[in-house]
Chain A
Amino acid sequence: MFEKKKIITSTGVEVRKKPLGLRIWTNRGYYVMFLPVAIFVLILNYWPLLGVRFAFYNYKPVGEPVFNGFENFTKLFATDAFWVAFKNTLELSIMKLLITTATAVIVSIFLNEMGNLLAKKALQTIIYLPHFMSWAVVAAVASLFLSPSVTGMVNGMLRDWGILGEADKNIYFLANKDMWRPIFYIINIWKETGWGTIIFLATLSGINPELYEAADIDGATRFQKMRFITMPALANTILTVLILNLAKVLNMFESVFVLYNNAVFEVADVISTYIYRQTFAVALPNYGYSTAVGLFRSLVGCLLFVICNWLSKKVRGRGIV
């Protein structure tokens, strides 16, 4: 095995001595193969970068874009709705990240304790399932269950249990400022906890069983083993998951987009949904302004990426990508 590797490196060195033109010519097939990928990436990812300049323009659907310097940004920073959206984005996605990671860790520790392999497999199959449902489907189910109409299950149950009296009106859960966030977190737990266990279960299956045997001989209880063997082994993975996801906290969009409504903007509006409304839900949008919001989001995202990349290198010796 080692020898083969050596041969490759030695040919590598040999190849490197050849003139560049020849090396390009011998690899010409690969350049052709990369061409379709390059075309798609250029069109989908690089061409929009040119459009970022509109952040400094006044650009309405009718008429030509007019350069206006930093006007979009001064307007942006003076807008309350934007800061609300910015704060909500951070709060919602960081809370969501912490909650779903915590539940995933707990579930995987207990799942790991399950002796019966068949039962474990069956449960894994079930708890991964919601991850493959779209946010549209999850939101549709949520709004049917939480509906304030007579067919809403939760309201009906509250009535049956006597929590809602005869005179009370049905509760419109998703339009209630105090209830929207808890509901949002519960839905996220329901949808993503199972999927989140995969990486922790992989770590747990990598723990040397001799550690548990040694602990058994020393008379450790099950909870002591969890506390002193399982948890420390997971610590690094938990940190990795948190760092990797911290870089993406500003990306939150679809999960909020399908669940929020104009009664809960104050607690639910995030940057991406704000951009959407400023562009597609107003009569005469200023593309320049929405682009400026997007650019601000991208820049903060970049900063987060750099921080997380640095943290990741510190913690686990390699960057995010």
Chain B
Amino acid sequence: MAEKAVYRQKKKKIKLFDIVNYIVFILLGLIILVPIWKVVVDSLNEVGIYQFRLWPEQFTLGAYKTILEEQTLIRPFINSVVTTVVGALLGLTLSTLGGYVLIQFDMPGRGLFATFLTITMIFSGGMIPEYLVMKELGLVNNMWILVVKHGMSVYNLVLMRNFFEGIPASLYESARIDGCTPMGIFFRIVLPLSKAALASIGLMFAVGVWNDYSTVKIYITDPLQVNFQYKLMVMVADGDTPNTSYGVSQTTLHNAGIIMAILPFMMLYPFLQKYFVKGVNIGAVKE
């Protein structure tokens, strides 16, 4: 009997812990979601208010309409979309090619290539020498700087290489014996088997380009070439906001700008979460 009582007591304790744990995590979830929700509500409310509301008081889509119609706002948004897509494609091309070459253990000079890439992770010229090179290339005041700068990432290339290494070597062997060229093996075997890695590393490139603010701040002053993140900072931090239409306040427009800056990835995020996270795990396997 006594034993049973002890057992029961213990069970109760566990339950208490679980309840506390759930409460703590609900609070944690709220800490992350409440600020985002506040921005969403404020972006739909005609006047700027400081209180937290669950729903806008005077509902309006005016701020979003302003962003879509105002040339100085929609142009940076389009620039962001274009550079993100092109940057992700270039990034995937270079990292898959490089990663694939780095697993050719028969190839003379493979180690040299690996060192050639690794050095760049240890030592870099720094902001100013890089700026002078980009100036030479005509990429100052040019939005394609975003694509060029993010298109090559040694870190992502190594992640790709690690993933390729997991593909059974016998598959390459048999394809080679059947007379498949390196390019043929790459397109017919490696890429179809790496869809998950392509998705997650492609997303990493896309997020990198889309979210970049400082590159634009350093390299671009032409308002036709800036991206949306930069435009957002100009509006909110520097207070340089275009005239609003539809009677919405500037604060509303700022909030709507924030939502537009996170919208593309927030829409994709619930569906692609596993790919977003997988990139880390590809790296972690090799840890």
Q: Which of chain B's residues have a CB closer than 8 A to the CB of A27?
A: 104, 106-108, 182
Q: Which of chain A's residues have a CB closer than 8 A to the CB of B237?
A: 139-140, 143, 258
Q: Which of chain B's residues have a CB closer than 8 A to the CB of A34?
A: 97-98, 101, 113
Q: Which residues in B have some Cβ–Cβ distance to A below 8 Å?
A: 13-14, 17-18, 21-22, 24-25, 28-29, 31-33, 35-36, 38-39, 42, 48-52, 93-94, 97-98, 100-101, 104-109, 113, 116-118, 120-133, 137, 148-149, 151-152, 154, 157-158, 169-170, 173, 181-183, 186, 207, 210-214, 217-218, 229-230, 232-233, 236-237, 251, 254-255, 257-258, 261-262, 265-266, 269-270, 273, 276-277, 280-281, 284, 287
Known: A128-B277, A150-B50, A240-B287. 4 other contacts (CB 8 A): A45-B124, A50-B125, A198-B284, A321-B118
Partner of A156, one of B36, B50, B93, B218: B50
8 nearest interchain CB pairs?
A: A294-B126, A51-B129, A156-B50, A48-B125, A134-B211, A29-B182, A48-B129, A151-B48
The number of residues on chain A lying at the interface, defined by a beta carbon within 8 Å of a beta carbon of chain B, is 95
Q: List the count of A-B residue pairs having beta carbons below 8 Å apart.
A: 268
Q: Which of chain B's residues have a CB closer than 8 A to the CB of A298?
A: 123-126
Q: A27-B108, A30-B104 are in contact. Are A198 and B277 (CB under 8 A)?
A: yes
The distance from the CB of A192 to the nearest CB of chain B, in whole angstroms, is 12
Report yes or no: B281 in contact with A287, Cβ–Cβ below 8 A: no
Report yes or no: B128 in contact with A290, Cβ–Cβ below 8 A: yes
Report yes or no: B94 in contact with A36, Cβ–Cβ below 8 A: yes
Q: Which of chain B's residues have a CB closer than 8 A to the CB of A151?
A: 48-50, 251
Partner of A54, one of B101, B118, B129, B169: B129
**How would you classify the secondary structure of chain A's contact residues: helix, strand, loop or mixed?**
helix
Residue on A nearest B255 in the bound complex, by CB: A144
A266: Cβ under 8 A from any B Cβ: no
Q: Which of chain A's residues have a CB closer than 8 A to the CB of B36?
A: 129
Q: A40-B94, A134-B213, A275-B126 are in contact. Are A33 and B186 (CB under 8 A)?
A: yes
Report yes or no: A4 in contact with B108, Cβ–Cβ below 8 A: no
